[in-house]
Structure 1
Amino acid sequence: MAMAENPAYPVGLRLTGRRVVVLGGGQVAQRRLPALVNAGADILLVSPSATPSVEAMADAGELTWERRRYESGDLHDAWYALIATSDAAANTQASAEAEAHRVWCVRSDDAEAATAWTPATGRSEGVTVAVLSSDLHDRDPRRTAAIRDAVVEGLRDGSLVAPHLRVRTPGVALVGGGPGDPDLITVRGRRLLAAADVVIADRLGPRDLLDELPPHVEVIDAAKIPYGRFMAQEAINNALIEHAKQGKAVVRLKGGDPYVYGRGMEELQALADAGITCTVVPGISSSISVPSAAGIPVTHRGVAHEFTVVSGHVAPDDERSLVDWRSLAKLRGTLVILMGVDKIGKIAEALIAHGKAADTPLALIQEGTTAAQRRVDATLGTVADAVRTHEVKPPAVIVIGEVVKVGPAPTA
């Protein structure tokens, strides 16, 4: 049947519990099946063979697989069909059956003979973006995919914002901003920033992102909140609660991950006690990302089978220290120290005293992942002098172990 010279009518199919027949288990099916599974369809796959990924879906019970070729009657009671076999005659026969039974049918081999087309589809926080070409003679899939990607990316990074026409409820998002490079924040974190009314930011958060916020967004530097009789953390908790109770969308932007030396749980507990809902958005921790950006793997086959992350803000001889430095000195893997620049001399002394070799390689990475990143190499025995000579300042990540020598030699 010849297609009319009219554009396709866009519609969203609700396939939950409804029979969908897929003919062919190759690459086309592998790409299309996950969306059908997510839609809750009752899927019958008819194909003598399948890719390993499609076979895994069948093994997991996500679809029913009949290992045979198409037969007349396979589309009986189907709501939707995807025809994607390598047998042109079978595809034509199945397409005719779909037409006869009024089953919407997509054909991978001949779009013009199909009764339905699959749009280029993407999703972002409850919104599905589907792009179809309205030009029957210029159905370039690369162009529709590019348009989809541009729209989805705009929704994700906040550059394309549509207002939410609903009443907001008080809430806070604890967002891990990553190690410093604004491109390393998560998609969800960036989206929440774009929708915020108030942002309470740490100095270690990705500062460049704050310049992208709309003018109406109130940005509060957590380091400058008036503390008065409160401890710093208590004052920050109170600020979060106060703004959330005003019905504002509040983002607490933190460096790295909220739960890796970020006191995120303390803030979440304070919000819970105040009856404020809280969303936690994980972030990329500087403990692994900064060494990676400096060319250092925290693990490497044959070199290190484990890595340990330690806070260095309390010196080993301080009675408040919770770190077992004696045990750490005996480990053969990688030791990553955060917040330890001003204590590294005493830390090195403690590790050496407990048996760690003084010539153990070490690297300090200052301002990791940012334009100001620099790396200073030393050993446990020389690190105190290296910090003074090179004027290493926080924030810096310290990596101790043989992995420091695995990558290419650092450039000056």
Structure 2
Amino acid sequence: MACWVAPAVFIVAASGQSSLPSDTVFGRWMFVTGWAGSLVLLSFACSWVLPLLTSLVAGDVFAAEDRLGTWRHLIMAVRSPRRIFVAKSLASAAVIVVMEVGLAASSIGGGIAVVGNRELVGLDGHLIDVGQSAGLVLLAWACVMVASLAFAAVGLLGSVALGRSPMGLLTPALLAFVLQAAQLLPMPAAVRLALPSQGFLAWRGLFTSPAQIRPVLVGLLVSLAWVVVATALAYLLFVRRDFTDLASDGSARRTLLVAALPVVALAGVSIAVVALATPASGSGIDKVKVEESLATSFAHLYRLQSRELHRPDVSEAQLGASASCYRAGSAGDDQGPGNDWRCAVSWHIPGATAVGTALYQLDVAAEGRYVADGDGPKEVNGYFQMRTPSGDAANPLWQIDGLVDLSSRSSSKG
């Protein structure tokens, strides 16, 4: 019930606040369209809610029988360890799916009811119409659901392998915490994309044009591989357990090794396959990618700003926006994440021979998302609000949310 009610309550409460969670992806658009609220909640759920839900449901589904000492009664009643494993696995997966459907339905319904069914601004600044926004938001929730089932499979494995130990309950949440910490560290793009937590981040690529499909597909395939391997290991350990020995809960050292080694091998194989399948090198973030992404976002948002100010519309081709970026703290390589990126965006002013220039300071995260803060001129991106014929409105060029595709090759390298 909390999953089906709390998201709508959160969106209603957020709509009554004067400030927005602008540090969260799509947070700055929560007052514009109801679809943004669902995506804000999705981003938060990927960080904390979904790992905890999988821990509570899948991480304890087998260990509870060990703590209560009810395995012998269950085996006598059902007589088939295989049937018990399948029933418990399907039951836990069904509960997780129902809870995630509740999160999605509640956040979407609450956002549309409170804010309205309007266009969504993508992570490259382009406007996404209402029908496409609905499809993309639902697809994003579906992709994340596959990733959460991978953590649920790890929970099943921990519940079987660790027996009555409470660590089985904490396995998915602990794995999510470790992977979130790892995501903050500098690492090759192939390693980052091969982590099972990639599915919790890759959905953002659906909201660019063209969509960044490769990271999404990699995240789905990696998640499915973890579902298959972790569930198969849990099944093998469970059906081979001696339930006649009341002192054994399946948590012997050999059992733990059998459970851990294949998972480590899966991680290694995933990294190797992703490294061969994707053309990205290094961190996947470099000068050319940042410049192209920022110039594209600026051009789209400039058109949005012109529309709100009731200026004549111009096309991206007429603007001819380009960006020149560098890292203030780098040794000249200008690549990798950091908050020391500085960019100057230039564009052709419609109806004039002059060339406009706007400055931005960028904070580029390791997963490819960046926030560009406007640094003047004040008429373009110097203030967070602008005066329009219909009143004050948020300036779309003041802060720009963007996304660099880690899996692609920089165009300067072919």
TMscore range, shorter length? under 0.3
* Larger RCO (alpha carbons 8 Å, 6+ apart): 2
Higher strand share: 1
Question: TM-score, length-normalised on structure 1?
Answer: 0.22
Question: TM-score, length-normalised on structure 2?
Answer: 0.22
Higher helix share: 2
Q: Select the structure of larger CA radius of gyration.
A: 1
